[in-house]
């Protein structure tokens, strides 16, 4: 009797939708360090992003989802090459944010993706 291939077994509690959406990783003092990324898939509780393996990711950082108009505080769960798995902690809407921590993220969102900001 053959064993199931454990590499192909789904271990997440919920399905993720494929997105291929633009994003940005923010971290460091005042979120002054950043890197653009692609959000490959997303669920209510996490996401998989793609960004150069050269960019080091801390254990906790902020992911800006330009299409969704949100800044999400995340925990890095795994990293393999250019891919990273994230768990979501808290979402912050960028449309009307008054939280000083996310004003810079809002400004980037409006400047780079006005088509998303105008729909929000």
Residue 19 in any domain: the answer is yes
Residue 15: per-residue pLDDT = 83
List the CATH number of the domain containing 20.
2.40.10.220
Per-residue confidence at 116, pLDDT binned at 50, 70, 90?
Answer: confident
For residue 3, pLDDT over 60 is answered with no
The residue with greater pLDDT, 15 or 25, is 25
- Annotate 91-119 with b (16+ C-beta within 10 A) or e (fewer): ebebeebeeeebebbbebbbeebeebbee
Residue 1 in any domain: the answer is no
Residue 7: per-residue pLDDT = 52
Domain, as residue range, for 10? 6-119
Q: Name the token pair of 69.
A: 């108009």
Residue 83 in any domain: the answer is yes
Task: Please state, in angstroms and rounded to a whole number, the distance separating the CA atoms of residues 20 and 24.
Answer: 13
- Model's pTM, two decimal places? 0.86
């Amino acid at each position: 009797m053959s064993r199931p291939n454990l590499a192909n077994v789904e271990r997440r509690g919920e399905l993720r939708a494929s997105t291929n959406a633009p994003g940005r990783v923010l971290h460091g003092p005042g979120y002054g360090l950043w890197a653009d990324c692609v959000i490959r898939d997303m669920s209510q509780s996490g996401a998989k992003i793609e960004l150069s393996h050269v960019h080091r990711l801390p254990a906790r950082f902020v992911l800006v989802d330009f299409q969704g108009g949100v800044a999400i505080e995340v925990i890095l769960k795994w990293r393999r090459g250019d891919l990273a798995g994230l768990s979501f902690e808290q979402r912050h809407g960028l449309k009307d944010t008054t939280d000083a921590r996310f004003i810079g993220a809002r400004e980037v969102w409006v400047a780079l993706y006005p088509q998303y900001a105008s729909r929000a």
